[in-house]
Amino acid sequence: MAVYNSTSKKAEEFINHEKILETLEYAEAHKNDLALMEQILDKGRKYQGLSYKEAATLLECDDPDIIQKIFDLGKEIKEHFYGNRIVMFAPLYLSNYCVNGCVYCPYHGQNKHIPRKKLTQEEIRQEVIALQDMGHKRLAIEAGEDPYNNPIEYILESIKTIYSIKHKNGAIRRVNVNIAATTVEEYRMLKEAGIGTYILFQETYNKKSYEELHPSGPKSDYAYHTEAMDRAMEAGIDDVGCGVLFGLENYKYDFVGMLMHAHHLEKTYGCGPHTISVPRIRPADDIDPETFDNGVPDDVFKRIVAVLRIAVPYTGMIMSTRESAKTRRECLEIGITQISGGSRTSVGGYVEEERDEDTVQFDVEDRRTLAQVVDWLIELGYVPSFCTACYREGRTGDRFMSLLKSGQIANCCQPNALMTLKEFLMDYAGEETQKKGDAIIEKRLAMIPNEKVREVCRERLARIEEGDRDFRF
């Protein structure tokens, strides 16, 4: 039996099954201890996070007053660290060729009727131009695992192509990468290619369930997959993004596993995950979510988001267009800091007028355009941000986290968000959105703490109106 060790490099020691079960038993036994819940909330109000045991106990409590306090604290912490900025991105699917047998994904190798497609570099160019014409500046590239069709050389060439394209005022300034677990050597190649965050979803941390859900292919190796972030960190990629697919396994188990993973990275490398994603399983091609009996209801899902925000206050939290506009709005208030907009989950989906539904990885619930999502966010009082400055200025990993913890990030993120929003308004927005956007920029400009930064930002906003682009603090 493996012994729990948060700084071990072995998957079954830093994600320890017995320790997770012990944590869940403790949470169940103490879920009605309201005094304990108040103590945990008081600790959360110090903005320094919670242990996975404390977070699991808080999540287990179903007292209405405690739940409301969880939501209130999630909102308070989010506003303290991230203000009203919401970072925008889009996924770009390069290839749906895949040799794995994942039973929840339509790209699985046994699916013989899904059309297989891999973008050429010219097709990637056209997809990126379409994304730039929407206003996107940050992409997350996705590809199935197929050593023959999607080797690392293809991914590297694709990244180079994406960064090279400058169309009108468009430019992709940050490419995040969501590809299969690989070697330290190949992670170094990705680092040298200038990627932003390396993203890899665990799907589930329960080893037994993981192996049943991944019966064949390279991804079936639980330890190799779970230890991928360690190899990425060793290769110098200090911004990594974790996530599980809620609905595959008991959500409480995966909630604890994900926080255990974050704790491991923090203890071992001095920096936890840059982002955590919270997707729920969705319908797709030959995949029916009803097949999985671990579905997460909306009210529980919101609590997961809020408790995660309290437990890992410094970590960005991502919600995709898998979720409805209603769910996204509610979760933006209590913890989510980054969302996609105008997303296509098919290979080549941005250029095609009619999307080939047979090549989508999952159904999109929020089908609004990026312009509509931006307008909606402004209406709600948020600043849609297309900022990529920290990555480009080397503020990554523990350097980014130290700025965030000290509060100094406000003098970078707020002006950068306002300037990138101004670019979007000038280049891509309609007249009404421009008016509303300019009003929120003026309001938020006055709230930048440092007077000198505020004045420089005001000057640069004026220069953006005159046609200049790509300023950053």
Do 14 and 6 form a contact (C-beta atoms < 8 A)?
yes
* Whole-number CA gyration radius for the chain: 21
Long-range contacts, stretch 337-340, CB < 8 angstroms, 24+ apart? 337/78, 337/82, 337/85, 337/86, 337/87, 338/86, 338/87, 338/88, 338/89, 338/275, 339/86, 339/87, 339/88, 339/89, 339/373, 340/88, 340/89, 340/90, 340/91
pLDDT in tens, 128-184: 999 999 999 999 999 999 999 999 999 999 999 999 999 999 999 999 999 999 999
For residue 265 the two structure tokens come to 């990275």
How much is the pLDDT for 357? 52
Tell me whether strands 166-167 and 170-171 are parallel, antiparallel or unpaired: antiparallel
pLDDT of 75 over the 80 cut: yes
How much is the pLDDT for 359? 56
Give how far Cα 467 sits from Cα of 137, 168, 371, 470, Å: 17, 12, 20, 10
pLDDT of 399 over the 90 cut: no
Residue 199 backbone phi and psi in degrees, to 5: -110, 135
Average pLDDT estimate for 412-427: 95
Long-range contacts, stretch 221-225, CB < 8 angstroms, 24+ apart? 222/11, 223/10, 223/11, 223/12, 224/181, 225/181, 225/200
pLDDT of 286 over the 70 cut: no
Q: Measured between alpha carbons, how far is 4 from 173 in angstroms, rounded to an integer?
A: 40
Residue 183's H or E segment, with its range, is: none
How much is the pLDDT for 293? 60
Average pLDDT estimate for 379-405: 84
Tell me whether strands 85-95 and 138-143 are parallel, antiparallel or unpaired: parallel
How many other β-carbons are positioned within 10 Å of the β-carbon of residue 466?
Answer: 7
Looking up tokens 């069709």, which residue turns up?
149
Mean pLDDT, the chain, as a whole number? Answer: 92
Residue 27's H or E segment, with its range, is: helix 17-29
For residue 164 the two structure tokens come to 């090279």
pLDDT in tens, 350-368: 998 544 455 555 557 888 9
DSSP states of 241-263 as a string? Answer: EEEB-BTSS-HHHHHHHHHHHHH
Q: Which range (46-60, 346-360, 393-407) has the least confidence?
A: 346-360
How many other β-carbons are positioned within 10 Å of the β-carbon of residue 383?
Answer: 23
Q: What percent of the chain has pLDDT over 70?
A: 94
β-sheet bridge partners, residue 277: 243, 318
pLDDT of 418 over the 80 cut: yes
How much is the pLDDT for 115? 87
Average pLDDT estimate for 72-77: 97
Return the closest-CA partner of residue 409 out of 385, 382, 426, 440. Answer: 385
Question: What does the DSSP 8-state code read for residue 413?
Answer: H
pLDDT in tens, 302-325: 999 999 999 999 999 999 988 999
Residue 224's H or E segment, with its range, is: helix 222-226
| Most confident of the following: 233-242, 285-294, 401-410 | 233-242
β-sheet bridge partners, residue 177: 141, 198
Q: What percent of the chain has pLDDT over 90?
A: 81
For residue 336 the two structure tokens come to 């989510």
Looking up tokens 């991804």, which residue turns up?
219
pLDDT of 284 over the 50 cut: no
Average pLDDT estimate for 21-28: 98
Q: Which range (52-66, 130-144, 318-332, 396-410) has the least confidence?
A: 396-410
Return the closest-CA partner of residue 347 out of 91, 100, 88. Answer: 91
Q: Is the dihedral of CA 187, 184, 8, 206 positive or negative?
A: positive
For residue 406 the two structure tokens come to 């000290």
Return the closest-CA partner of residue 180 out of 203, 205, 211, 158. Answer: 203
For residue 130 the two structure tokens come to 């379409």
Do 101 and 424 form a contact (C-beta atoms < 8 A)?
no
Q: Measured between alpha carbons, how far is 213 from 219 in angstroms, rounded to an integer?
A: 10
How much is the pLDDT for 282? 65
In the Cβ-directed half-sphere of 406, how many Cα atoms lie within 13 Å? Answer: 10
Average pLDDT estimate for 35-57: 98
Do 117 and 96 form a contact (C-beta atoms < 8 A)?
yes
Average pLDDT estimate for 88-99: 96
Residues ≥6 apart with Cβ < 8 Å to 317: 275, 276, 277, 278, 305, 308, 309, 335, 336, 337, 338
pLDDT of 25 over the 50 cut: yes
Comparison of pLDDT for 345 and 243, the residue scoring more: 243
Give how far Cα 12 sits from Cα of 150, 240, 246, 261, 303, Å: 29, 20, 21, 11, 27
